[in-house]
Structure 1
Amino acid sequence: MSDNLKKTPLNQKHYDLGAKMVDFGGWDMPVQYSGILDEHEAVRTKSGLFDVSHMGEFWITGKDASKFINYLLSSSVTNVKDGFIKYGVLMLPTGKAVDDLLAYKFNDEKYLLVPNASNTPKDYQWILDHKDGFDVVFEDKSDVTGEVAIQGPLAEKILQKITDINLKDIPFYSFKVGKVAGVEAIVSRTGYTGEDGFEIYVESNDGKDINIVWDKILEVSGEDIKPAGLGCRDTLRFEMKLPLYGHELSDEISPLETGIGRFVDLDKDDFIGKDALDKEKAEGRKRKVVGLEMVGRGIARDDYPVKKDGNVVGYITSGSYSPSLKKNLGLALVSMDVAVDDKIAVEIRGKDVEAVVVKTPFYKKG
């Protein structure tokens, strides 16, 4: 463990559980406990418990809160009901992404934004630099907020044992405030795995409360849960073709290229990046993210060239062995002429390895 790395309030729990720890964007985080394949299977069939306290938590309040968030994000929060959540992209003027995040709408004058952990400082500065002219208060409470996620088909049954919130009253992409293990918390239902599940946010200066929640979930779950690390979090999201910032979305890749155009509301009056996205839509995308299955032996790693008819047409953004499907799969950013069933090649250490373009998401429940 490096003393230079940031630690979540649950850091000692991971060491106590024998987790393999890694430097993840400057955080000391568990990549696996019992093993990536084992934890992946647990989330798909029962449930897994993740420490996601490294994620950011920004509060935007005030008369212009909705107006300000609409200016920052690709998606619109205007018609979002109180108690619901909107996914959106924090936009650059170029039409590319600063980050992708979730906006929790308490009301028109109160929002919680949840950015990616490694982007939190950058996002904070970006939002701060653009708040002039808006009547809002902007607060970063990342350092005093702990968050755990319970994901999997048994998540609701387990969590219901220790909360006074009726979890059936929380539809997908919504949230409620109540008590979990006797601790005041925000409970939402979003997830990054393709399975049902909940996120629990707890604010406290000393981190004790999120430790209480973590311990209680494990205590009441028995054999129905496993602590899960960053490794299976990535394989789970990958199988569902959920974008990961720095891979399928970045300051060089637009949300239209990523394939999340449904979260781009070009009907809004004005927002950062609107002109560039209007132009991109009018002229037509030049690139898109597709799924591929390796036919030859090898794993498609990030940035490996992708070829069609001997010509480079793009590159791998994410690649992995799929624990659910028992195949080597990849996501690639390629030219628009690449289509499902096309035979392509991935250049692996100087050698072209055969692959085929397949439909996504790779994994479908049942």
Structure 2
Amino acid sequence: MPSVLQIPLHDFHAAQGARFVAFGGWNMPVQYTSILEEHKAVREAAGLFDVSHMGEFFVQGSDAALFLDRLVVNAVASAPIGKAVYSPMCNSEGTVVDDLIVYRTGEEAFLVCVNAGNIEKDYGWFLKQAERWGLDVSVEDQSDDYALLALQGPQAEAILLAVGLEEVAEIKRFWHQLVTFGGEKIRICRTGYTGEDGFEIYSSPKVAEVLAKQIMSEGEAFGVKLCGLGARDSLRLEAGLPLYGHELSDHITPFEASLDWTVKLNKTDFIGKNALTEQKENGIPCRVVHFKLEGRRIAREGTPVLDEAGEVVGQVLSGTLSPILSCPIGSAIVRSEVKDAPLFVDLRGNQLALQIAKPPLHK
């Protein structure tokens, strides 16, 4: 097995002038023109991302809904067919194993999208819990069967309509539908990771390449651009969306990540429920906050966050330059008692004040 895996459409991206980087064990397009240009295309028109490195598990059986409800912190069993549910998945300490999107495809069937770098770990976790609970459920890792395109931006729907996918107009936010394209069933989901309207499209690699070419051809009049991981990261950080290994990790709970809305303590028992209930009752010790900075210096991951006395009260989790705001932005985890107090970072001897802001930062 190669040390770095190739996504199915690698040759297509290379022909479009993509620059590649290793990410999550995959050789991924990081940019085509410039991150600034690609980022602005998504905010103003549309951008096409290839996120085929993500993992896909198929979960089915008479206990599939109960199994997933016990596995993640959000409510899955009550979701109707066609609904998508975002949720962290926790260990018994309440910290996060991964964050997922669960698509209900039938009464006893679900498609689960997991992070690329966590596929092997998550699959083992799913199988371990299924065996431990003795439920009527089967879990299949179908990641190799799928390519995944994401078309994001205010013109995304218009472009897919131009391609001939009329059904997208009926799909609501965080819903999905099975449609036919190129003689094959593909799944179109109105979810996203940019803070814009948009769609994720699950298909075979063969159909994905045909669709990508049509999107770029029909979308030219709408201003569509191919986009890489660089723009994906700056877009999600502007929107205040977490990235596993940064705002979420096995050291951070959903409450600490400020994802309280995902934790349904009133549903069935789930892994981490006791720890999260205790944390909520006793006080959440730290919180993830988002910020802007003056000037051009970026506060990078790991930079200490200081209070007015110069004491370290947290650290930066993500940092980049916002192409829309033209200033540095980022996220940090800080002690709860100081999250509303003046906070600073020291960048090469210059102490800069964090301008705490509620996401989406670009609005």
TM-score (norm 1): 0.95
Residue by residue over 1:63-94, the C-alpha shift from the partner in whole angstroms, topping out at 9 and shown as x without a partner, is 00000000100111122111010011111111
Name the SS for the 2:55 alignment partner.
coil
- Which residues of 2 match residues 174-185 of structure 1 at below 5 A? 174-185=175-186
Distance in 2 (CA, whole Å) between partners of 1:196 and 1:283 is: 38
Tell me, yes or no, if structure 1 residue 96 matches structure 2 residue 90.
no
Q: Which residue number in structure 2 is paired with residue 330 of structure 1?
A: 330
Deviates more, 1:172-181 or 1:114-123: 172-181
The CA deviation at 1:302 is 0.3
The CA deviation at 1:328 is 0.9
- Which residues of 2 match residues 58-73 of structure 1 at below 5 A? 58-73=57-72
Q: Which residue number in structure 2 is paired with residue 217 of structure 1?
A: 215
The root-mean-square deviation of aligned C-alpha atoms, in Å, is 1.5
Is the alpha carbon distance of 1:362 and 1:352 closer, same or farther for their aligned partners in structure 2, counting shifts above 3 Å? farther
Tell me, yes or no, if structure 1 residue 363 matches structure 2 residue 343.
no
Is the alpha carbon distance of 1:269 and 1:208 closer, same or farther for their aligned partners in structure 2, counting shifts above 3 Å? closer
- Which residues of 2 match residues 38-187 of structure 1 at below 5 A? 38-132=37-131, 133-187=134-188
Q: Which residue number in structure 2 is paired with residue 192 of structure 1?
A: 193
Is the alpha carbon distance of 1:201 and 1:104 closer, same or farther for their aligned partners in structure 2, counting shifts above 3 Å? same
Is the alpha carbon distance of 1:67 and 1:163 closer, same or farther for their aligned partners in structure 2, counting shifts above 3 Å? farther
Distance in 2 (CA, whole Å) between partners of 1:296 and 1:308 is: 20
The CA deviation at 1:326 is 0.8
Distance in 2 (CA, whole Å) between partners of 1:306 and 1:238 is: 18
* Ranges of 4+ aligned residues in structure 1 off by more than 6 Å: none
Q: Which amino acid aligns with 1:323?
A: P
Is the 1:165–1:178 contact (alpha carbons within 8 Å) kept by the matching residues of 2?
no
Name the SS for the 1:255 alignment partner.
coil
Name the SS for the 1:75 alignment partner.
coil
The CA deviation at 1:180 is 3.2
Is the alpha carbon distance of 1:228 and 1:181 closer, same or farther for their aligned partners in structure 2, counting shifts above 3 Å? farther
Is the 1:298–1:353 contact (alpha carbons within 8 Å) kept by the matching residues of 2?
no
- Which residues of 2 match residues 290-309 of structure 1 at below 5 A? 290-295=289-294, 298-309=297-308
The CA deviation at 1:126 is 0.7
The CA deviation at 1:105 is 0.6
Residue by residue over 1:182-228, the C-alpha shift from the partner in whole angstroms, topping out at 9 and shown as x without a partner, is 5420000000001010011003xxx3221111111111111421000
Is the 1:291–1:362 contact (alpha carbons within 8 Å) kept by the matching residues of 2?
no
The CA deviation at 1:355 is 1.6
Is the 2:69–2:268 contact (alpha carbons within 8 Å) kept by the matching residues of 1?
no
Q: Which residue number in structure 2 is paired with residue 250 of structure 1?
A: 249
Q: Which residue number in structure 2 is paired with residue 312 of structure 1?
A: 312
Is the 2:41–2:225 contact (alpha carbons within 8 Å) kept by the matching residues of 1?
yes
Distance in 2 (CA, whole Å) between partners of 1:296 and 1:213 is: 42
The CA deviation at 1:292 is 2.0
Q: Which residue number in structure 1 is paired with residue 277 of structure 2?
A: 278
Name the SS for the 2:163 alignment partner.
coil
Q: Which residue number in structure 2 is paired with residue 343 of structure 1?
A: 342
Name the SS for the 1:321 alignment partner.
strand
Distance in 1 (CA, whole Å) between partners of 2:161 and 2:233 is: 26
Residue by residue over 1:2-45, the C-alpha shift from the partner in whole angstroms, topping out at 9 and shown as x without a partner, is 95311111111111111110011110101000110000000000
Is the 1:316–1:332 contact (alpha carbons within 8 Å) kept by the matching residues of 2?
yes
Is the 2:18–2:31 contact (alpha carbons within 8 Å) kept by the matching residues of 1?
yes
Q: Which residue number in structure 2 is paired with residue 208 of structure 1?
A: 206
TM-score (norm 2): 0.95
Distance in 2 (CA, whole Å) between partners of 1:169 and 1:246 is: 35
Distance in 1 (CA, whole Å) between partners of 2:354 and 2:302 is: 17
Distance in 1 (CA, whole Å) between partners of 2:37 and 2:296 is: 23
Is the 2:345–2:354 contact (alpha carbons within 8 Å) kept by the matching residues of 1?
no
**Count of aligned residue pairs for this structure pair:** 359
The CA deviation at 1:297 is 5.2
Distance in 2 (CA, whole Å) between partners of 1:26 and 1:269 is: 35
Distance in 1 (CA, whole Å) between partners of 2:107 and 2:350 is: 53
Q: Which amino acid aligns with 2:257?
A: T
Distance in 2 (CA, whole Å) between partners of 1:213 and 1:67 is: 36
Is the 2:296–2:327 contact (alpha carbons within 8 Å) kept by the matching residues of 1?
no
User: Structure 2 regions of 5+ residues with no counterpart?
Assistant: none
Is the 2:325–2:362 contact (alpha carbons within 8 Å) kept by the matching residues of 1?
no
Q: Which amino acid aligns with 1:319?
A: G
Q: Which amino acid aligns with 1:264?
A: V
Q: Which amino acid aligns with 1:324?
A: I
Distance in 1 (CA, whole Å) between partners of 2:154 and 2:181 is: 19
Is the alpha carbon distance of 1:326 and 1:164 closer, same or farther for their aligned partners in structure 2, counting shifts above 3 Å? closer
Is the 1:218–1:225 contact (alpha carbons within 8 Å) kept by the matching residues of 2?
yes
